Homo-oligomer: A and B are copies of this chain.
Amino acid sequence: MKLAKPLTLEQVATILKADFEGDPEFIISGINEIHKVENGDLTFVDHPKYYDKALSSAATTIIINKKVKAPVGKALIFSDDPFKDYVDLVNKHRPFNSCSQMISASAQIGEGTIIQPGVFIGNNVEVGKNCLIHANVSIYDHSVIGDNVIIHSGTVIGADAFYFKRRPDRWDKMTSCGRAIIESDVEIGACCTIDKGVSGDTIIGKGSKIDNHIQVGHDSEVGKNCLFASQVGIAGCVTIEDDVILWGQVGVQKDLTIGKGAVVLGQSGIAKSLSGGKVYFGSPAIDARNKMKELAMIKRLPEIIEYIDGNK
């Protein structure tokens, strides 16, 4: 999330009542979770395992729970609980605003777009031209919909990222302030959920077609002209390149990449990145031909066991 108005290091440290290292006038122009950061961003880190990643990332201000030296050109804010402080900043700069009508006055709807009854369109949503939004769709604040997009009933665009921090006695919610972006010429079926990004964007690429009951988690990016059949589930922070086909009930774990033009057969489970241009099957998924061979070999188990039992 870009800040509407940049802050100085000192201003942020004052809000958080925290010590800091760096020029008090150092500029913070965005607040972003480590997954997607750029120059000018503030991010946070609270686990030794990720200190190096955060300190060497593109982010230029880091809230950290250890007294370290600031890398060149960067600023640090010291905190006992960087997660909490980061979430406090997000809540302060993007507070939830309720809506008293089905279509927010601040939503922009393009020419030629049809919005059927019962559709909720939240604050600051942008919908392009010639879209068709069917009845009882819900589009959360700040979502962006391109042109010629069709969204079927019951679908939810831009709900919160499913991202919680484990505490000894509870799960603390990461307030997500990113967006869901549906590019032009996309069709999304009924009862789908496309979550917003934690601080960046979840993207459904131009021309992709998505069937019913599909889940796309926070910060995942789906390429152009992909085709997903019903009940596919995609976790957070997944990259799916162009022209990928996922058949029904496929599940994709977080933080991985599916290469351009890959095809994954129904009910497969993707547990690691897949290279493009091939067909996959199984849970965990492997090359579909190898999976078929494996299934054929399993069929020979009676014969194998007969041999073993006869030779003991």
Contact = CB atoms under 8 A, between A and B. Distances in A.
Nearest to A138: B153
Contact of A215 (B118, B162, B231, B294): B231
A66 to B, nearest CB: 27
Contact of A100 (B117, B195, B229): B117
Given A118-B136, A134-B159, A297 B303 contact: no
B152 A156 contact: yes
A185 interface: yes
B154 A138 contact: yes
Interface in A296-312: 297-305, 307-308, 311-312
A229 B193 CA distance: 13
A30 interface: no
Interface string A2-46: 000000000000000000000000000000000000000000000
A52 interface: no
A136 B134 contact: no
A74 interface: no
Give the interface SS of chain A, mostly helix, strand, loop or mixed.
Answer: loop
A57 interface: no
A225 B170 contact: yes
B231 A231 contact: yes
A185 to B, nearest CB: 7
A132 interface: yes
Contact of A117 (B99, B225, B235): B99
Nearest to A269: B267
A42 B114 CA distance: 30
A189 interface: yes
A223 interface: no
A185 B172 CA distance: 10
A162 B230 contact: yes
Interface string A255-284: 000000000001101010000000000011
Interface of A: 96, 98-102, 114, 116-118, 120, 122, 132, 134-136, 138, 140, 150, 152-156, 159-160, 162, 164, 169-171, 173, 185, 187, 189-193, 195, 207, 209, 211-213, 215, 217, 225, 227, 229-231, 233, 235, 248-249, 251, 253, 266-267, 269, 271, 283-284, 293-295, 297-305, 307-308, 311-312
